[in-house]
Amino acid sequence: MPPKKVNWKRIRAANARHATQTRVEAHRKQGGGCSGMIREIEPMPDQRKHRKFDRNGIIDMDDHSHSDERIIVECSDACGCSRTCPNRQAQQGKSKNLTVVHLKDVRGCGLEAAEPIKKGDLIGEYVGEALVMKEVAGDNGEIIYDTGKETSYEASTCVMQGKIAINSLDIGNVLRFLSHACEPSAAFVECHSRKSEGETLIPRIVVIALQDIAVGESVTISYYDPEDMKNRRGIRCLCKPACQNFLPCSYVDD
């Protein structure tokens, strides 16, 4: 059975039900002078999960943890700011220049920075096919979520719209070549972004730098959550710094 496609009408209805309008006075200082109403998702108890680009277009990633449920909330026209607001990085299609390289080991292709990248910079948006994740039984009887495609090409949402994965196996951009590192230089972050209230709010995932990355240095992410390493089963990992020795991801051979 082919992977289930996303029902965008259902997502639009869910967004309308759960979205709330919240006045964010602190955003005037943090987002470059914006004021007014910002359309946000259903409030979460831990406000530290909400990220915003500062006036320089940088995200504070100092307290980053792979297991965090975090989301970037960009401005919309309802905020009263212009389309050039620094808190509209994903809307503006901002991205960094990257080079696809063939790695000398069995990992295949990877990415290197073709321009200096600062910590907190938006490297680009991870794009692909949006698929619904189904509940399936894991090896130990636990419930896991799966799309039926190779998971190393997937980035899943967990805050705004749960159980949806962006899979770039068949459709994607240069970020599909992101390779794994146990101590990565970048991370996936969910992004709440649309230009106007009339647009459908679709799940978006961006890649944010966790450290300064010089020209020629690798741009990597971590494929796994630390909890996944407890079983220590899967594909053997070949990264060097802080290596955990195994990748606990599944492989689907079509």
Q: Residue 76 CB: number of other CB atoms within 10 A?
A: 25
User: What pLDDT does residue 31 have?
Assistant: 44
pLDDT band at 17 (very low <50, low <70, confident <90, very high): very low
Rounded Cα gap, residues 198 and 101, in angstroms: 41
User: Please, are residues 59 and 208 in contact by the beta-carbon 8 Å criterion?
Assistant: yes
Which of 129-138, 157-166, 174-183 is modeled with the greatest confidence?
A: 174-183
Domains of the chain: 8-247 (2.170.270.10)
CA-only gyration radius of the chain, Å: 18
Q: List CB contacts of 64: < 8 A, sequence separation 6 or more.
A: 70, 187, 210
Could you report the per-residue pLDDT of 26-56, keeping only the tens digit for each? 444 444 445 434 544 444 555 546 778 888 9
Q: Please, is 121 exposed, middle or buried when counting C-beta atoms within 10 Å of its C-beta (0-12, 13-18, 19+)? A: buried
Could you report the per-residue pLDDT of 49-80, keeping only the tens digit for each? 677 888 899 999 888 877 777 788 888 887 77
pLDDT at 110 over 80: yes
User: What pLDDT does residue 174 have?
Assistant: 94
Q: What angle do CA 56, 210, 184 make, to 5 degrees?
A: 155
pTM value is 0.72
Amino acid at 11: I
User: What pLDDT does residue 15 have?
Assistant: 53
- DSSP lists the bridge partners of residue 71 as 50, 190
Rounded Cα gap, residues 30 and 52, in angstroms: 7
Q: List CB contacts of 206: < 8 A, sequence separation 6 or more.
A: 72, 89, 90, 122, 123, 124, 125, 126, 188, 189, 191
**How does DSSP assign 158-219, residue by residue?**
-SSSTTEEEE-SSS--GGGGPEE-SS-SEEEEEEE--SSTTS----EEEEEESS-B-TT-EE
pLDDT band at 251 (very low <50, low <70, confident <90, very high): very low
pLDDT at 131 over 60: yes
User: What pLDDT does residue 215 have?
Assistant: 98
Tokens of 144: 């896991």
